[in-house]
């Protein structure tokens, strides 16, 4: 499943992306980068990660929610625990080694002028068939009319991520075609944040089985999602998303922060489309 961890790619706060990896990101809309974090670095993050899951770090309102169910579920019923903006709720994470390497990756893949847009934790409880993250393009979640659409969303595996526990899956090359229509999973964005779209004939799905400490990086247009967790363990992921600094500034000017508690959060592309 996994590639050997490169010994030379990590260098302090830098992770060196190869020419072949950059070409894969441009061609497929996503790329697998092995060994972005060393085992001890993942272990240190996992300690705080589990404090979030146990509720020991306070997260406001809907920023602690379930991405598979609606907002009426109790925490024990959440199949995909979603923590939005963990660095806001746990400032000690700001500038951590993962953020540093993710920033270096974003710059190598997308060029200068990238900024951290949001961070997120997505943890699938063990043995939850319904811990399915529906097919979507991230661009559906936010305004589409911003000036610079460069995006590098880094997805760190805190656990080995496998077909059995619900690893990421992508339709390679789908970032090159127009945004597909999306709909709220539970019929109404007031009931849950989640948006979904459908695969169409010809879409070819690639499973991204990756090891603990590895990262996938994806573009905001590539179709992706993940299946349920049939394993006896958690599937934990830590996401840090970079977009062009000009775009992040424009989003903030509009009051769009990626917090599920903001009124403006419903105004992703779906919200704008519905207003017309
Ligand atoms: O963690 C998952 O299964 C889905 C994550 C995702 O869709 C994303 O990071 O954009």
Nearest CA to ligand 1 atom 1: 122
Tens digit of each residue's pLDDT (9 = 90 or more) over 237-273 = 999 999 999 999 999 999 898 998 886 544 444 443 3
Average pLDDT in the chain: 91
Tens digit of each residue's pLDDT (9 = 90 or more) over 54-83 = 999 999 999 999 988 777 888 999 999 999
Atom of ligand 1 nearest to the CA of 133: 3
Kindly write down the DSSP assignment for every residue of 193-250, as one continuous string. --EE----TT--EEEE-B-TT-EEEE-TTSEEEE--B-SSS-EEEEEEEEEEHHHHHH
Closest to 81 in 3D by CA, of 54, 56, 116 = 54
How far away, in angstroms, is 208 Cα from ligand 1 center?
Answer: 12
Atom of ligand 1 nearest to the CA of 155: 9
**Is the separation of the CB atoms in 225 and 134 below 8 Å?**
yes
**Residues having CB within 6 Å of any atom of ligand 1:** 122, 133, 138, 153, 155, 168, 224, 226, 237, 239
**Is the separation of the CB atoms in 229 and 223 below 8 Å?**
no
Tens digit of each residue's pLDDT (9 = 90 or more) over 138-168 = 999 998 888 899 999 999 999 999 999 999 9
SS3 content of the chain, % helix, strand, coil (to 5): 30, 25, 45
Q: At what angle do helices 19-28 and 97-110 cross, to 10 degrees?
A: 70
Which of 29, 65, 122, 195 is the best mutation target for the ligand 1 pocket, counting ligand atoms within 8 Å of the beta carbon and taking the most? 122
Mean local confidence (pLDDT), 177-204: 90
Residue with tokens 């024990």: 76
Q: So what's the pLDDT on residue 18?
A: 97
Domains of the chain: 15-275 (2.60.120.620)
CA distance 137 to 224: 7
How far away, in angstroms, is 239 Cα from ligand 1 center?
Answer: 8
Q: So what's the pLDDT on residue 271?
A: 41
CA distance 95 to 119: 12
Report the predicted TM-score, pTM, of the whole model to 2 decimal places. Answer: 0.93
Residue 19 clears pLDDT 80, i.e. is over it: yes
**Is the separation of the CB atoms in 162 and 231 below 8 Å?**
yes
CA distance 36 to 98: 8
């Amino acid at each position: 499943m996994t590639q050997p961890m490169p010994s030379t790619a990590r260098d302090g706060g830098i992770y060196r992306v190869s020419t072949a990896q950059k070409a894969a990101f441009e061609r497929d809309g996503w790329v697998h980068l092995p060994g972005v974090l060393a085992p001890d670095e993942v272990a240190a993050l996992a300690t705080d990660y589990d404090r979030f899951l146990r509720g020991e770090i306070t997260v406001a309102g809907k920023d602690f929610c379930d991405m598979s169910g609606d907002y009426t579920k109790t925490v024990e019923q959440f199949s995909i625990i979603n923590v939005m903006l963990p660095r806001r709720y746990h400032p000690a994470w700001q500038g951590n080694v993962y953020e540093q390497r993710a920033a270096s990756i974003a710059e190598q893949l997308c060029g200068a002028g990238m900024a951290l847009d949001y961070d997120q934790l997505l943890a699938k409880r063990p043995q939850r068939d319904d811990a399915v993250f529906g097919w979507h393009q991230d661009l559906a979640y936010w305004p589409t009319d911003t000036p610079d659409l460069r995006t590098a969303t880094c997805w760190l595996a805190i656990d080995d991520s496998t077909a059995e526990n619900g690893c990421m899956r992508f339709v390679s090359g789908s970032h090159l075609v127009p945004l597909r229509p999306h709909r709220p999973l539970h019929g109404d964005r007031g009931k849950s944040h989640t948006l979904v779209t459908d695969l169409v004939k010809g879409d070819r799905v690639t499973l991204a089985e990756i090891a603990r400490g590895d990262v996938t990086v994806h573009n905001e247009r590539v179709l992706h999602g993940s299946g349920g967790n049939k394993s006896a363990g958690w599937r934990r992921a830590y996401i840090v998303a970079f977009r062009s600094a000009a775009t992040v500034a424009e989003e903030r000017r509009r009051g769009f922060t990626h917090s599920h508690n903001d009124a403006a959060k419903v105004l992703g592309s779906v919200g704008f489309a519905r207003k017309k």
